[in-house]
Amino acid sequence: LGYRKGYSTIKEALEDEQIYSIVKGAMEESGKYLIHHFDFSVVEHEKYMEKTLKRFKNPNLRDEVVRVARQPIRKLGPKDRLIFPAKKALEIRIIPKNLVKGIAAALKFDWEGDDEARVLQAMIKKEGIQEVLTRICNVSERSSLSTLIIDAFNTELTHPKSPLI
């Protein structure tokens, strides 16, 4: 998300209220599955989110947006940090609207300095977004997750530097 809006660091990106809201919302969506499935404590999850977000905002850490966003093919894998929690959220009837915004942003990551980003963009251009979702993310064409991701991906195309709101 920060890359799409032109930020250099995670700290800068999280100072943007829209991005902060999406990141926090994605953490909440992921957490709801963990709380539901593993009986995690709501309070402990809140503390974890607060600690994580505080760490990302630490002015002494210069965490580059492109470092966090790099290797989008790996991060879009079916068992990685974006697709897996989005699928699990849907299983417990939570619409992962914030995770989907992150997925769409990952699909749009086009930094020339990242080999996976170049491969991903070439695949999308040649084969289309649905084929990428099927092959890389293991997201079926008929699934509600596919529909949500494609809608978010296409929405962003209208406003290239928007954070998908």
User: Which positions ≥6 away from 65 have C-beta within 8 Å?
Assistant: 2, 3, 7, 8, 9, 10, 12, 13
Distance CA 27, CA 19 (A): 12
Please report, for the domain that includes residue 150, its CATH number: 1.10.1040.10
Of the pLDDT bands very low, low, confident and very high (cuts 50, 70, 90), residue 158 is very low
- pLDDT confidence of residue 163: 54
Domain contains 68: yes
Q: How many structural domains comprise the chain?
A: 1
In a domain, 150, yes or no: yes
Radius of gyration of the chain (CA): 15
Domain assignment of residue 165, yes or no: no
Q: What is the pLDDT of residue 58?
A: 86
The secondary structure of residue 162, as a DSSP letter, is: S
Q: Residue 38 falls within a domain, yes or no?
A: yes
* Share above pLDDT 90 across residues of the chain, in percent, rounded to a whole number: 85
In a domain, 2, yes or no: no
Residues in CB range of 74: below 8 A, 6 or more apart: 80, 116
Q: Decide: pTM greater than 0.85.
A: yes
CA dihedral of 128, 87, 157, 10, whole degrees rounded to 10: -120
5 in any annotated domain:
no
Q: Rounded CA gap, 70 and 89, in Å?
A: 24
Token readout for 38 is 């593993």
Question: Which phi and psi (to 5°) does residue 64 adopt?
Answer: -75, 140
In a domain, 1, yes or no: no
4 inside domain = no
pLDDT at 24 over 80: yes
- Full residue range of the structural domain in which residue 120 is found: 10-158
Maximum C-alpha span of the chain: 46
